[in-house]
Every structure is written in C-alpha cells, then in structure tokens.
C-alpha cells in the first residue's frame, strides 16, 4: 500500500510559541490514523497545515501525493475535512448545505443530486434534509458535517475531534459511521482526539502528540506492549518511601509516580501484588489502595510524557481561561 500522507519535519510557530515542533509521520492508504494528545498539543495546528489552511513555518508534507505548499488546489480537491468547531450555515437547510458544498467542488447536476441523496442516507438524515440546520441537534449537525466531508469523495478525510461535545451514546454512533465509511469507501482517515477510548477503538495506528512533538507512534497494541505487561497502581501517602523500596527490583519494567499514585509495569501483575505489599510494610509506607489493570493508552501516554491526558487538560483549561480573561479586558 502506498503512503497517502507524508509529513516531514513540519513546524509552525505563533510568535515564540512552538505549536508544532518538527513532526514527521506517514499514513498509508485506507488507514485510520489518530493523533492523540491533550488540547493545545498541536494536533489541530497540524491538521490545519495538512489541509492548506495554515502555512507551515518550516518543513513540508504531501497529501495524496501533492505538496501542501506548492500544489494547494490539488490537495484541496483530494481531501475532506470535518472541523473541530461547527462549520455549517445554520440558516440553510441540511440539503442546501450539501448542495452548496457540491457546487463549490464543481460536481455536475446529476451526480450532485445522486450523491447528496446517498450521503443523506449514510448519515441517516433523509427525513431532516429540508429542515433548517439551526433546528438540528448537536449529533445531527455533526452527522451532516461528516456527510458533507464525504460528498465529493475525497481520498483523505480529516476529522478534527469528531466527537467533541457529544454525549457517549452519540459518540458510539459516530464511531460506527466512521468505521463504516472507512470500510465502504476505502477512504484514508486521519483524526485527532483527546479521548483515549476513541483512539483505541478506531485507529489502526496512533501517534501521541505532546507539546508539538510526536512522543510515540504505533498500533494501540504495540503501544500498550511497550509497558511490558500489567499496570499495578498503588495509592499511598508515603510515595517517596515506597519508590525507594521498589527501585532496583528487576521485575518492574517501568515505574511512574503521579499525584499520589505509583504505577508499576509488571508481567503477571496479580502475582506481584503481595510482594508490593510486603515491600511497603518493610519501608513503612502505608498503602491506601492497590489496583491492577491491563494497560490502556492512557498508561502509555503517562509513560511517555509523565502526565495523564486529563492532567494536561486541567492546565490547558487554566491557560485558556486566562487567555479569555485577557481578551475580554
């Protein structure tokens, strides 16, 4: 299979802020590729550069074989985008939004009507097609946007946080749509998300993005295997003591301390729990709780960045809040 997307040391700076700091990756044809990371990690900026909305500061990329700097119109013809923020005209009906999109992509009359009907069917909006979009629910709007992104049969479809702000049930639905269209149309999908489960469930391969860089890349299984087994999570108030006691033990692949927890990556975790408890007693560290789970992508993210996505989220919200306050002043 050939490469649909080739990204080479792509970089974008906003003043002194390095939003995207030299990232490189390849996406194969027909693949579902995910960029996973906290908000503000540089995922959307990456997508904006790949979709020719934002020029890169340096580096380059090819999408569907076309250079994003030199051959913008060919790139635009080959891609579809579902933006993070809604991008529909709410004062038009669903069908009109699709029609306008089709005309903007220079589709012929006959082909247009046919495609619009089949897309409306795919996203199950046939009976709402002639209702003004402002009367749609959040999930319906998102579905319409997905349908619109597919209308001109792009080779590559970008989905920027496709399920942000949707309730869990609608999110599940959306995942099914995304899988269905990947299977049916063999369209290459590249999606950004800060939902661990979404990346795990949907993506063939995932790249972890943090502070504008890719810190790890692989299939979800590969990534989880890097931790070497199960995760034993110990909650204790004397985490320093326990860390000292556990350090140097050969059966621990990795150890990570984060907000009152010590996470250990070990093989056959259930057999190691007694040992951990013994060591804790020896060093006088009081254990509040102890749990064992198969590693999730969240654990892997923690391993590579030293933070969970949710922790980063918090700090991101704080920065955004201060930014908003500044703007309103």
Q: Is 79 in the site for another protein (CB under 8 A)?
A: yes
- The least CB distance from residue 136 to another protein, in Å, is 14
- For the chain, how far is it from start to end, CA to CA, in angstroms? 53
Whole-angstrom Cα distance, residue 13 to residue 324?
A: 21
Which residues lie below 8 Å from residue 166, measured CB to CB, with a gap of 6+?
138, 139, 142, 174
Shortest gap between Cβ of 91 and another protein (angstroms)?
Answer: 5
Question: Does residue 106 bind another protein (CB under 8 A)?
Answer: yes
Structure tokens at 242: 């326990």
Q: By CB under 8 A, is residue 153 in contact with another protein? A: no
* 87 lies in the binding site for another protein (CB under 8 A): yes
- DSSP string spanning 194-250? S-HHHHHHH-SEEEEEETTEEEEEE-HHHHHHTT-SEEEEEEES-HHHHHHHHTT-T
Q: Does residue 329 interact with another protein by CB under 8 A? A: no
258 binds another protein (CB under 8 A): no
137 binds another protein, rule: CB under 8 A: no
Dihedral pair phi/psi, residue 211, rounded to 5°: 50, 45
Q: What residues numbered 218-257 form the site for another protein, per CB under 8 A?
A: none
Instruction: Tell me if 53 contacts another protein by CB under 8 A.
Output: yes
192 lines the binding site for another protein (CB under 8 A): no
The long-range contacts involving 175-181, CB below 8 angstroms and separated by at least 24 positions, are: 175/201, 175/202, 177/122, 177/123, 177/143, 177/146, 178/32, 178/146, 178/202, 179/32, 180/122, 181/122, 181/146, 181/150, 181/157
Sole window of 92-100, 194-202, 227-235, 241-249 interacting with another protein (rule: CB under 8 A): 92-100
Shortest distance, CB of residue 83 to another protein, whole angstroms? 6
Q: Is residue 90 within the footprint of another protein (CB under 8 A)?
A: yes
Contacting residue, 54, 68, 207, 223, with another protein by CB under 8 A: 54
The single residue among 24, 100, 180, 310 that binds another protein, judged by CB under 8 A, is 100
Residues that bind another protein (CB under 8 A): 51-54, 73-74, 76-77, 79, 81, 83, 85-92, 96, 100-101, 103-106, 148
């Amino acid at each position: 299979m050939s490469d649909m997307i080739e990204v080479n040391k792509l970089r974008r700076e906003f003043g002194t802020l390095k939003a995207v700091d030299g990232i490189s990756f390849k996406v194969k044809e027909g693949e579902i590729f995910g960029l996973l990371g906290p908000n503000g990690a540089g995922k959307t900026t990456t997508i904006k550069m790949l979709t020719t909305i934002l020029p890169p500061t340096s580096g380059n990329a090819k999408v569907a074989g076309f250079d994003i700097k030199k051959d913008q119109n060919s790139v635009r013809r080959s891609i579809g985008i579902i933006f993070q923020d809604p991008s529909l005209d709410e004062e038009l009906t669903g069908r009109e939004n699709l029609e306008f999109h089709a005309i903007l992509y220079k589709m012929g009359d006959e082909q247009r009507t046919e495609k619009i009907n089949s897309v409306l069917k795919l996203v199950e909006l046939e009976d709402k097609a002639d209702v003004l979009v402002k009367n749609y629910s959040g999930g319906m709007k998102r579905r319409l946007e997905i349908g619109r992104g597919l209308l001109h049969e792009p080779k590559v479809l970008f989905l920027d946080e496709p399920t942000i702000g949707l309730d869990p049930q609608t999110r599940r639905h959306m995942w099914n749509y995304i899988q269905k269209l990947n299977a049916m149309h063999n369209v290459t999908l590249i999606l950004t998300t800060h939902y661990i489960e979404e990346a795990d469930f949907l993506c063939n391969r995932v790249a972890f993005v943090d502070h504008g860089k890719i810190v790890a890349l692989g299939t979800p299984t590969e990534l989880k295997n890097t931790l070497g087994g199960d995760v034993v999570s110990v909650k204790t108030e004397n985490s320093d003591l326990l860390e000292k006691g556990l350090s140097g033990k050969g059966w621990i692949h990795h150890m990570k301390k984060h907000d009152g927890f010590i996470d250990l990556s070990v093989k056959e975790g259930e057999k190691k729990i007694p040992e951990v408890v013994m060591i804790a007693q020896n060093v006088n560290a009081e254990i509040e709780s102890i749990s064992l789970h198969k590693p999730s992508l969240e654990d892997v993210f923690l391993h590579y960045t030293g933070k969970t996505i949710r922790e980063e989220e918090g700090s991101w919200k704080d920065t955004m809040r201060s930014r908003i306050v500044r703007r309103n002043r």
